[in-house]
Amino acid sequence: MLVVPGYPTPHEEELSALSGELGISDDLRIPGWTSDEDLEGLYALAVACVFPSLYEGFGLPVLEAMRRRVPVACSDRSSLPEVAGDAALTFDPEDVGAITAELERLLGDEQLGERLAAAGAGQAARFTWQATAEGTLASYRRALARP
């Protein structure tokens, strides 16, 4: 089952139509925004979190999945490689073959999924609000110290 939560996009209609053409529409859910409780339920049932973003300001969905020990496969664009580190599989989000290959690896190798889940929890633990505040303060100090 593919579940695509979040804000509506123009691609939902195309995805729904394609799933119908392929005869797999019963395996696609596009619930839109979900409550915190429902989102926790989705993470608890997830085999993987796939995040093929073309541009990302930071990558909180990747960290959210990692924190919940859900293996991640994500885009190799923008901030995502830094956020994911070695704790996720990455792919070119514009290369369907690359996405397919990484998903087949992840879904076909239980040990890889377990390794990514464990590594993801550790990677997510590095990103705290305390570390964010300290990094921001350090940046301000460096900027103010310049002549």
Q: How far apart are CA 119 and CA 126, in angstroms?
A: 11
User: In the predicted model, is pLDDT for residue 52 greater than 90?
Assistant: yes
* Backbone φ and ψ of 5, nearest 5°: -85, 165
Helical packing angle, 110-125 and 60-67, nearest 10°: 110
pLDDT at 57: 87
Q: In which band, very low, low, confident or very high, does the pLDDT at 10 lie, cut at 50, 70 and 90?
A: confident
Say if residues 26 and 49 touch (Cβ distance below 8 Å): no
Say if residues 106 and 116 touch (Cβ distance below 8 Å): yes
> Average pLDDT for residues 81-101, to the nearest whole number?
96
User: In the predicted model, is pLDDT for residue 20 greater than 90?
Assistant: yes
Q: How far apart are CA 98 and CA 76, in angstroms?
A: 11
Q: How far apart are CA 35 and CA 41, in angstroms?
A: 10
Between 57 and 88, the higher pLDDT residue: 88
Identify which of 117, 38, 31, 135 has the alpha carbon closest to the alpha carbon of residue 73. Answer: 117
Helix (H, G, I), strand (E, B) or coil at 73: strand
Query: pLDDT per residue over 133-146, tens digit each?
Result: 999 999 999 999 98
Share of the chain above pLDDT 90, in %: 87
Q: Model pTM?
A: 0.85
pLDDT at 9: 86
User: What is the domain class of 2-145 according to CATH?
Assistant: alpha beta
> Average pLDDT for residues 5-33, to the nearest whole number?
91
